[in-house]
Chains A and B, each alone.
Chain A
Amino acid sequence: MGNTLKISIQPEWDQLESVRVQAHTFLEDNGLMANLIHSLVMVVSELMENSIKYGNFSSPDNRVEVSLGFYKNSVTVEVSNPVNEDSMSDLEELDRMIQWIRGYQNPFEAYIERLKEISKKPLHDKASGLGIVRIAYEGGVTLDFFVSEEGLLTVSAIRKV
């Protein structure tokens, strides 16, 4: 991995803005165009929000780890947090969703399919699943994830530049 930024934060909402600013500065220093910086900062922000919302932070040592790195002609954003066995069904759903999004050449197609799907209103509220599709489409990134044997979930987003 070439030039890299690594940030470790407590899983608290008020940490978000600081990470956004650091990510923005890092991408700007590496010469990216403003619209690309905007998209990637949105990706960092959304992935961190998911991480704080769904991570398992049962120990005070548990943190959210964020990294941004340039490799060849792409930028990779990675956000990690601990998960436990209770998250397995959510992770399976994330797996299905990411494979489904990446099944389309154009994430726009996944986005409009999802919009169509959520227009079918559940009689009782359920998660729309639009968030992750939006990250792929508006961020222009290829999403993937991996859960280590130790239970660390790392979601990665790659954007060609």
Chain B
Amino acid sequence: MTSEEYTTSAVLVKGKTEFPVSVRYSTRYSLLVRFENDSFSDNDTKFDNLIVIISGESIPLGPCQLIHQKEVDDNIGYLISSEDIVDFGDLIFKHRKSILQSGFVNLPFILEQKEKIKQEFKDYTADLTYCLSVYRHLFDGMDEDYRDEPEDVKKSIQQAIIAKEGADFIRYFETRLQELERLVKGYTQVEHEQHGFYFRRQVWSFILASALLRRTNLKPRGYSGDSEMMRMIYKNEELGDSTFSKLMHKHPIEHPAAEAVRNRRKLIAETLAQQRKSDHIPADEQLKVLSVACGPAFELNNLLKSKADCERYEFTLFDQDPLALDEAVQLVAQIEKQLDATIKVEYVQASVRTMMTTRRLIKKLGNFDFIYSMGLFDYLTPPVAAAVFRNLYQLLQPGGELIIGNFHVSSTSRVYMEYWNDWVLYYRLEEDLLELVKGLSPAEQSVVFEDTRSQMFLSVRKPIT
């Protein structure tokens, strides 16, 4: 049913008088109302109660105000709540009573959080927000000064500012970040959580200025590290509608953790290319590859450079997020078009946590020569990581290789990711990764790092016999 089609009956109450009306969804916070007769006067603009009938049930919504639309019709107007502001979209289409001010139910809990914050942290945050405000004010002022210039002139001026004052700002920001790391070193997990929450409330306007930070904090798909965040990291562009926004986006996107994400994409493509040349795979057979938590599978761009490359592999791309899989479908189509080739791909939408059905699904596709998962184990706790790893290992062909990535506990971006990005990973040591192999007896096992040493990769090869 569309909003235009939805009409229901209602009653407006004023004192002891009841006005029967029909109401129609107009906007999220207003209803179009039609009075059924001429029983009201022009003075009747405030009502004590609006009772809407939905599925035979009377829903009282409290006081409301009428805005007449006499130029349209004498009996027509808009109704808007005048105390608890009712979300009519939620009411009519989701059948729940939502109040605009509902966030205020948490106000006392949120305010009392500040009592748990150390004074030195409060001082740091207050000083930082002042300095960032000053920087923003200056950058915005410059943007305003050259706003009316032609586009190419504006772009050139902005690049000059980014190169000089922007670089100074990035250095300043980096220094303050290192200061934050020193300040919170030694905090307990609970203290990190409390101080991170307080911090983000203070720097929220700066977070919203950055496309990446905005997305990592708001998590529109309900989880961290979605394919759009990955796309931003891979693209490594200056995004934003102001110089300050561009800088606030570019800084996290160039930090070692983001660099590590770009590095792993190249690393996995190189490893896959080498894998093809291994002795145990006959030259005329396709290499069966499973990518777990594949996201948009951008690494295929690095791997598939020719029609012959496309013919060498048979991919299964596995992800929980249908939107990420859609992006992978588009990427594969794009590569096929560019190379005039056909790529054999199966797409599996499922969660690694529910292997009860997932493994059965994958089993239909047979075992794999190469399985990789670059950005999944950072989100799995030890018991779940162990179970998922065992399952993936079992899906390997004899002689096949399994590679998983995980950020290392010493990642220099950790505090930045947790405090600014609200992006929490399960960081591990080399020994934690090797713990996953226990009881599996692989023919080979190793842990290697990418260039920034933020992320490590565990590789295991199944014995041939």
A interface residues, Cβ below 8 angstroms from B: 71, 76, 78, 83, 85, 88, 91-92, 95-96, 99-100, 102-109, 112, 115-116, 119-124, 140, 142, 144-151, 154, 156, 158, 160
Contacts and interface: CB of A to CB of B under 8 A. Distances in A.
A146 B353 contact: yes
Given A95-B320, A105-B197, A106-B197, A149 B383 contact: no
Interface in B424-448: 424, 426
A99 B380 contact: no
B422 A123 contact: no
Contact count band on B? 35 or more
Contact of B193 (A88, A108, A112, A120): A108
A158 B110 CA distance: 25
Interface of B: 54-55, 57, 59, 87, 90, 95-99, 102-103, 105-106, 109-110, 113, 188-190, 192-194, 196-197, 219, 222-224, 320, 351, 353-357, 359-360, 379-384, 387-388, 391, 418-419, 422-424, 426
B445 to A, nearest CB: 21
A149 B387 contact: no
Contacts of B387: 146, 148, 154
Contact of A99 (B87, B105, B197, B379): B379
**Interface hub of B54, B356, B379 (most chain A Cβ within 10 A):** B356
A9 B196 CA distance: 40
A149 B55 CA distance: 43
A119 B99 contact: yes
Contact of B357 (A88, A95, A112, A156): A88
B109 A112 contact: yes
25 contacts: A83-B356, A91-B354, A92-B354, A99-B222, A100-B219, A103-B422, A104-B424, A105-B193, A105-B196, A106-B194, A108-B197, A109-B197, A112-B110, A119-B99, A119-B102, A121-B96, A140-B189, A140-B190, A144-B381, A145-B384, A146-B383, A146-B387, A147-B355, A151-B356, A156-B384
